[in-house]
Amino acid sequence: MTPREKPTPLGAALAGISSGVRSTGPWAGRRQLFVRFARVAETATMFTADALRNELVRLARRSAYHSVAICGGDPLGEVEFLAAALDGGAPLSVMLDHDGQRPESLEKLIKSLALVQVTLTGDEGEEVVSRAMTTIRRAAGKHVAHALVLMAKADPSDGRLLRIVEQAKEASADTAVVVHPTTDSLSEDRRWLLWLERASAVHGDVRLLPVLPEPTGTRC
């Protein structure tokens, strides 16, 4: 082993593997297995790559699921672990839901993915958005489905959200853009209806959806 080579990690800290209905993005409403990486100060269990692979196979045999969601924490910070766990294929289609801040790491995992989902809030700085768009561009270059999800938590300006939609289209014309606004009733909030009209003129694949609430919906 050369000095630059890194051994495959023996394991990674996961907050758990659970089943649920996806609440956000283009696969909202789909029944999934959620593989969630632990965040700081969150209770975690160590999994080896073999243990994760075997557990996914076991769970997929017990019930019907649409796909597996890799999410939580910093998934691509454990890209070697994930690549080893998914090597040879997974029992279901796999999506990666993350912030898009490690585009250089995506290459090691992209062959195992059916969907690359980048989730932003809309109030990130330009450098963060730029890296996210690089991630989308790389997924498009490998002909893997890709989506940008905007969780408009901080109520960013209409113009800011439109600019991010424009950047997503520039990164790839095939980007599926899903916006989840913070409002109780989309039908009564004309701001979002007017915004969707403007956004649709910018990019042909923009959807405005409420977040599927708990306990039905599951979020990462």
* β-bridge partners, 149: 119, 178
Please give the share of the chain, as a percent, with pLDDT higher than 90: 77
125-134: Cβ within 8 A, 24+ apart: 128/99, 128/101, 129/164, 129/167, 131/100, 131/101, 131/102, 131/103, 132/99, 132/100, 132/101, 133/100, 133/167, 133/168, 133/170, 133/171, 134/100, 134/103, 134/171
Task: Calculate the dihedral angle through the C-alpha atoms of 104, 123, 208, 206, rounding to the nearest 10 degrees.
Answer: -50
126 has pLDDT over 50? yes
Q: What is the pLDDT of residue 1?
A: 44
Question: Which residue bears the tokens 């630059």?
Answer: 4
Q: Which residue has the higher pLDDT, 10 or 35?
A: 35
Q: What is the pLDDT of residue 82?
A: 97
Question: Which residue bears the tokens 């002909």?
Answer: 143
Does this model's pTM top 0.85?
Answer: yes
Question: Which residue bears the tokens 């405005």?
Answer: 208
Q: What is the pLDDT of residue 220?
A: 80
pLDDT band, residue 215 (cuts 50/70/90): confident
CB 150 within 8 A of CB 141: no
Q: What is the pLDDT of residue 9?
A: 47
Burial class (CB in 10 A: 0-12, 13-18, 19+), 128: middle
Q: What is the pLDDT of residue 2?
A: 47
Structure tokens at 190: 């004309």
Distance, in Å, from the CA atom of 94 to the CA atom of 79, rounded to the nearest integer, reads 14
CB 96 within 8 A of CB 116: yes
Give pLDDT tens digits for 57-72.
999 999 999 999 999 9
Give pLDDT tens digits for 27-52.
999 999 999 999 887 888 999 999 99
Exposure string for 133-161, b = 16+ CB within 10 A, e = fewer: bbbbbbbbeeebbbbbbbbbeeebeeebb
Q: What is the pLDDT of residue 182?
A: 73
pLDDT band, residue 10 (cuts 50/70/90): low
Q: What is the pLDDT of residue 184?
A: 59
Q: What is the pLDDT of residue 40?
A: 80
175 has pLDDT over 60? yes
Instruction: Give kind and range of the element (H or E) at residue 13.
Output: strand 12-22
Select the CATH number that applies to the domain covering 12-218 from these four: 3.40.50.1980, 3.20.20.70, 1.10.20.10, 3.40.50.150: 3.20.20.70
